[in-house]
Amino acid sequence: MKTIVMTGGTSGFGADTRRRLVAQPGTRVLSGTRRAASGDPDTASDGPDTLSLDLARLDSVRAFARAVTDRLDGTPIDALVLNAGLSFRTGDRRTVDGFETTFAVNHLAHYLLIRLLMPNLAPKATVIVTTSGTHDPDHDTLLPTPPRHADARLLARPDTDPERDTDPRSAGGRAYTSSKLCNVLTVRALAARPEARSGQWRVLAFDPGPTPGTGLLRDTSPTMRLAWRILSRATRLMPRFNRREVVAAALTDLTLGAVTAPPGHYYARVVRNQLTWTAPSRLARSDDARDALWADSADLLSLP
């Protein structure tokens, strides 16, 4: 039996990935979801292995980790897929814990899950964190607000950042791209940990590229949401955009180990519906930024 724990498996290519994984013989997928039920036909249905999880509440993240541990009852986790993510039009939202919401959900909650579930990971386990090419200013992406830094303290409380964006929309875009930079740095930091080395874990960052048909833009205007939905039905005519089923297939293959990284690579990116291996941004390759983010995130969460 292969055991997989997943976030972001209830809509978009995450739901497609979850369905593909569940369909594999001898595979069990425990997934976290914020909703108890949904009438959205594009959303994966709940089941006995669906557990409550609100990534915007750290107490919920801790409760989810406890529930996973209890449910598994000693069974190790073969793959941890941290796929959930969100983006807001502005950067003025805060969680109940007092952190900027995009950073808290996209980075801090997943960092906490990694820390809490590390003891449950099996030898040669796979850990995948979904990131975005928008973290790299050298990529031609849909967001013109690349990250300036990965300082966890400033990203968690942007009002304390002397270089913060005063334009709300720029602040929202910057919060998203910065959180995606943090995802890549977290992958690198985890891979450098003694536990990962001794356990021979496969730790990967996954960039789905521009993939219409997801819930990422649910906070945008109705016009933008409609355009995104239309694009999801026309991706075969627009090669810049990736097809949802292609992205889901790539994430499924990476999770199951059907596709492995070439030596020295950890950043998987879907480009024009092809899975490629490349290097992340210059800042994402900084060891100083990597180590500082790991330590400062732990401090924000009162972890050792």
pLDDT confidence band for 234 (50 / 70 / 90): low
pLDDT at res. 212: 85
207, pLDDT greater than 80: yes
Q: Could you identify the residue written with the tokens 């930024």?
A: 289
Q: Determine which helix (DSSP H) or strand (DSSP E) holds 160, and give its type and residue range.
A: none
3-state secondary structure 81-135: EECCCCCCCCCCCECCCCCEHHHHHHHHHHHHHHHHHHHHEEEEEEEEEECCHHH
Per-residue pLDDT tens over the stretch 166-202: 999 999 999 999 999 999 999 999 999 999 999 999 9
Residue reference for tokens 């950890």? 266
Residues 6+ apart with CB under 8 A from 270: 207, 208, 209, 211, 242, 246, 247, 250, 276
CA–CA distance, 23 with 29 (Å, rounded to integer): 10
pLDDT at position 40 is 42
What is the torsion angle, in degrees rounded to the nearest 10, for the CA atoms of residue 271, residue 126, residue 232 and residue 277? 0
Kindly report the pTM of this predicted structure: 0.91
Question: In this predicted structure, which of 99-108, 132-141, 251-260, 273-282 has the lowest mean pLDDT?
Answer: 132-141
Task: Tell whether the model's pLDDT for residue 117 goes beyond 80.
Answer: yes
Q: In the numeric block, which tokens belong to residue 53?
A: 């999880």
Total domains present in the chain: 1
Q: What is the pLDDT of residue 143?
A: 82
Q: What is the mean pLDDT of residues 295-303?
A: 98
Instruction: Report pLDDT digits (tens) over 57-106.
Output: 999 999 999 999 999 999 999 999 999 999 999 999 999 999 999 999 99
Find the mean pLDDT for residues 266-281: 97
Domain of 159?
2-300
CATH number of the domain enclosing 152: 3.40.50.720
User: Regarding beta strands 274-278 and 267-271, do their DSSP bridges make them parallel or antiparallel, or are they unpaired?
Assistant: antiparallel
**Residue 219: which pLDDT band, with cuts at 50, 70 and 90?**
low
In this structure, which long-range contacts are made by residues 73-77, counting pairs with CB atoms below 8 Å and at least 24 apart in sequence?
75/1, 75/3, 76/3, 76/120, 76/121, 76/122, 76/123, 76/125, 77/3, 77/4, 77/5, 77/117, 77/120, 77/121, 77/122, 77/125
Which amino acid is it at 80?
Answer: L
pLDDT band at 140 (very low <50, low <70, confident <90, very high): confident
The one-letter code for the residue type at 115 is: R
**Contacts (Cβ under 8 Å, ≥6 apart) of 144:** 173
Q: How far apart are CA 189 and CA 198, in angstroms?
A: 15
